[in-house]
Structure 1
Amino acid sequence: MLVIFLCIVLLVLLVSWGKINPFVAFLLVAIAAGLLLGIPVNKITASIQKGIGDILGGLVIVICLGAMLGKLVATSGAAQRIAGVLVSAVGQKHIQWALVAAGFIIGIPLFYGIGFVLMVPLIFSVVDKYKLPAVFIGLPMIASLSVTHGFLPPHPSPSALVVLFHADMGKTFVYGLMIAIPAIILAGPVFATFLKKIPSAPLATFRAAEMTEAEMPGAFISFFTALLPVLLLMLTAFFPYLHVQNPLMVKAVTLVGDPSIVMLIALLVAIYTLGIRQGKSMAVISGQLTDAVKDIALILLIIAGSGAFKEVLTASGVDKLIAARLGELHMPPLLLGWLIAAIIRISLGSATVAGLTAAGIVAGLVSSGGVNPNLMVLAIGAGSLAFSHVNDSGFWLFKEYFNLSMKDTFRSWSVMESLVSLIGLAGVLILNIFVG
């Protein structure tokens, strides 16, 4: 236990104080852990390689295809079309709720950073047009993006945890939706009512030009393409309850239910609907897909590093020891997973690193069958969104784009992230009563 504690402290110091790349920090900590835990020197490297291969083998396809899909949704104007349709449908009085819905829909296929940069210009255009407080209007939409990033596949951390815990991607997504919606409402529009007086003058530098009507795809195509992964995952999640007996159909749904196949189908559809159909050449589309992979390369490396650290713990047998010792605390496993992720998140600033590191520590509890793996994914996801502050890039994105003071960023962004985390934990514990 002392060795693991020291390794986690070392990881925190390397990333936060030493400013070392998280992937490199994970490798250094994995090597240190292997030596201190008595793994033979000639087996440490093998354990690291196995850990990297195991986690990326089941994940790299989903993350890369998800990034490619998100890139097409962003660059085609589909995201702007979705938001525009929602705002037009509800009118000025309910613009905030329309933006929340837009952020939620767009946040499912888009990675957080891409979604943030994409949606902020839309927020600012609405603020300018209707003379509304920027934080009051913008924070709820940003809350939607944050919640989907922490709770819902195909985002990196929840997707990785599904693989690590051998959870069901479809069920995790459905449970995640049940928790995400109240978390967004309470931490978004409800909380934002207390922030109307925060002064914010968004910088002109960040107000990107919008696409014209002619340049954007139609509403149906935009909604259908962005939500196709969701539709396929929900179909496969509910299919067993339809009691279909046709063997061919069962095999087809089983194949389509694989997350890699889901994302591949969605991407192929998007290449046509948001690319070729819009008059783009395959050369242009291929360039956008390549850029998408570049955008998430570091995320893949961080995930790989966390897999190496997790495998070293597993190879040493210390994961079982940790599970046994933590079990002596008489703390519910889901609460424990949330707490570990929250502590690492506050220390390191990265939701992805927090989720994956916590997963390696509680993996023994999940494998022993003492907890619902789908709910553990969500508990750790909620913990990984806890109090965001100066060591989190999201904190600075929000501060600089909205041109806020440090004090106002803490009382808006940081509190919102903490509310999302706590509400997410409460939702997981309530769901555990019924499905645990």
Structure 2
Amino acid sequence: MSDVVVFANTAITIVGVVVLILRAKITPAIALVLGAIYLGLVSGLGPERTVRSITTGFGDLMTEVGLLIAFGVLLGSLMASLGAIEKLVDVLVRTFGPRALPYTFGSTVGTVLQSIFADVLLVITAPLASRLSRQIGPHGAARMCAAMALGIEVGLVFVVPGVGAVALAGVLDLPFGRMFLFGAVTAVFTIVTTLALFTALARRGFWKPALDETEEVPVADAAPESDRPLPPLGLSLAPLALALLLIAAGAIAEMFGVTSPVVAFLGDPVIALLIGLVGALVIARWTLPVEQISGALKRGFHESGQILILTGVGGSLAQTVTDVGLGELLKGYFSTSTVVPLLLVWVVAAVLHIAIGSVTLASITAAGVLGPVMPTLGIDPIFVALAAGAGSLFVIHATSNTFWLLQTLLPQTTRGALKSVTFTVSCASVIAMVPIQLMALVF
């Protein structure tokens, strides 16, 4: 089969998945499986090998990320119930002051709090951002709206255990600790740099308070109050902090060649998050009613189920792409330079996101299609994952549920959301490629 035919079939597969989701209104999970079936059959794998590729890809990926996603989402749900977020933001205000708050707030949401499912994290933190926006001087609302958007979206695709980052690491079979370290560096740089750019533009007239802000914080963003005394911040954050420290320690030990069965065991992200989850359960049992704990766990199981299915079928498509031999074909079209291949990953993810409107789906589809071929070009898959994540942030618009949540839960109009969300996160999508390309050249 000629190179052109293979490339054309792959392109048709991507376009077909988009059309099925947008026009036929087929759920993304089914659309991805249908795309994998088409690619396998028309590329010569035959029925038996096509089915084997799909099931193997799904099963192998669930082996890698299934427990990690489930434990991470459950831990995040319990952390939200323990009231840790509100207290953490209060500490940030008292420690760094109002002037630096947008930077510390966005970076914290984008890194430390990524175990919490994105929509839940947004609903919890938006009321705090709204109230604090009135305390940080000129353009406070604009800066906090942008900080929220950047923290939610950038952290989702770069920082483990954010579900997008976990899915990307799973699709490309990456060590989660390594994804955590490289992703955290990329996320913090991207959030701080983009927010500084947005702040400068806002001060020069880009943000029009009369047109871009609502006069009052929406009633819906009032934070829920509780009559029960919640545990102190240190205790509430301890399970999550311990899990992240164990993951980081395991990754650092691996990078420096330290071999220890204890470190390897405790530093494994699944074990680290399990330890954190058990710790959060113990604290919750001590401080919360049983009904509230059950509700938190129920929400966690509901949220993790749809994430697991979508991630798994992304693995099916990735395995099919590998089996049709696209990697060997692309190898002949690129030099050993990392710049062009990573830009290709970014472009594919960006186009998919513009068409579909799902950050996670766009990133794992781009990584699934192009990730398996990059090792043949001498490119570390960690940077493929980061480039796919960066591209999937481009042009978050009205098809995104997060866009409308950010608009309604924060003191901004739709016009304002187009600036603080669509424009700002698109800038982050481009800015993120700077550290990604630099790290790809160095490491």
1:139 equivalent to 2:143? Answer no
The one of 128, 150, 161 equivalent to 1:154 is 161
1:255 — aligned with what? 265
Shift in Å at residue 73 of structure 1?
A: 1.0
2:13 — aligned with what? 7
2:175 — aligned with what? 168
CA distance in 1, matches of 2:131, 2:413: 22
CA contact (8 A) 1:82 1:102 kept: no
CA distance in 2, matches of 1:369, 1:396: 40
CA distance in 1, matches of 2:108, 2:164: 22
CA distance in 1, matches of 2:396, 2:373: 27
2:304 — aligned with what? 296
CA contact (8 A) 1:136 1:193 kept: no
The one of 223, 229, 237 equivalent to 2:251 is 237
Taking the TM superposition and a 5 Å limit, the aligned residue runs for 1:76-155 are: 76-127=82-133, 133-155=140-162
1:239-286 C-alpha deviation (Å, 9 max, x unpaired)? 357776xx7xx100011122211111111111123x0231443x6434
CA contact (8 A) 1:165 1:367 kept: no
Shift in Å at residue 154 of structure 1?
A: 1.4
CA contact (8 A) 2:109 2:151 kept: yes
1:183-202 C-alpha deviation (Å, 9 max, x unpaired)? 11122254135335333225
Taking the TM superposition and a 5 Å limit, the aligned residue runs for 1:4-403 are: 4-127=10-133, 133-195=140-202, 196-198=207-209, 199-201=212-214, 204-211=218-225, 215-240=229-254, 250-273=260-283, 275-281=284-290, 284-325=292-333, 332-368=340-376, 370-402=378-410
Shift in Å at residue 411 of structure 1?
A: 2.3
1:392-419 C-alpha deviation (Å, 9 max, x unpaired)? 2222222233364443322221111111
CA distance in 2, matches of 1:342, 1:165: 18
CA distance in 2, matches of 1:131, 1:308: 50
CA distance in 2, matches of 1:165, 1:182: 23
CA distance in 1, matches of 2:55, 2:303: 24
Alpha-carbon distance change, 296 to 205 in structure 1, aligned in 2, over 3 angstroms: farther
189-198 vs 291-300, which moves further: 189-198
Alpha-carbon distance change, 329 to 93 in structure 1, aligned in 2, over 3 angstroms: closer
Shift in Å at residue 25 of structure 1?
A: 1.0
Structure 1 stretches of 5 or more lacking a match?
Answer: none
CA contact (8 A) 2:107 2:188 kept: no
Amino acid at match of 2:266: V
CA contact (8 A) 2:359 2:392 kept: yes
Give the secondary-structure state (helix, strand or coil) at the position aligned to 2:432.
Answer: helix
322-331 vs 197-206, which moves further: 322-331
Q: Percent identity?
A: 26
Shift in Å at residue 16 of structure 1?
A: 2.1
CA distance in 2, matches of 1:243, 1:2: 43
1:361-403 C-alpha deviation (Å, 9 max, x unpaired)? 2233333261122222212211121121222222222223336
Scaled by the length of structure 2, what TM-score is found? 0.88
CA contact (8 A) 1:306 1:357 kept: yes
Scaled by the length of structure 1, what TM-score is found? 0.89
CA contact (8 A) 1:55 1:307 kept: yes
Amino acid at match of 2:286: R
1:420 — aligned with what? 428
CA contact (8 A) 1:15 1:25 kept: yes
Task: Report the RMSD for the aligned CA atoms in angstroms.
Answer: 2.7
Shift in Å at residue 12 of structure 1?
A: 1.0
Amino acid at match of 2:370: V
CA distance in 2, matches of 1:312, 1:242: 34
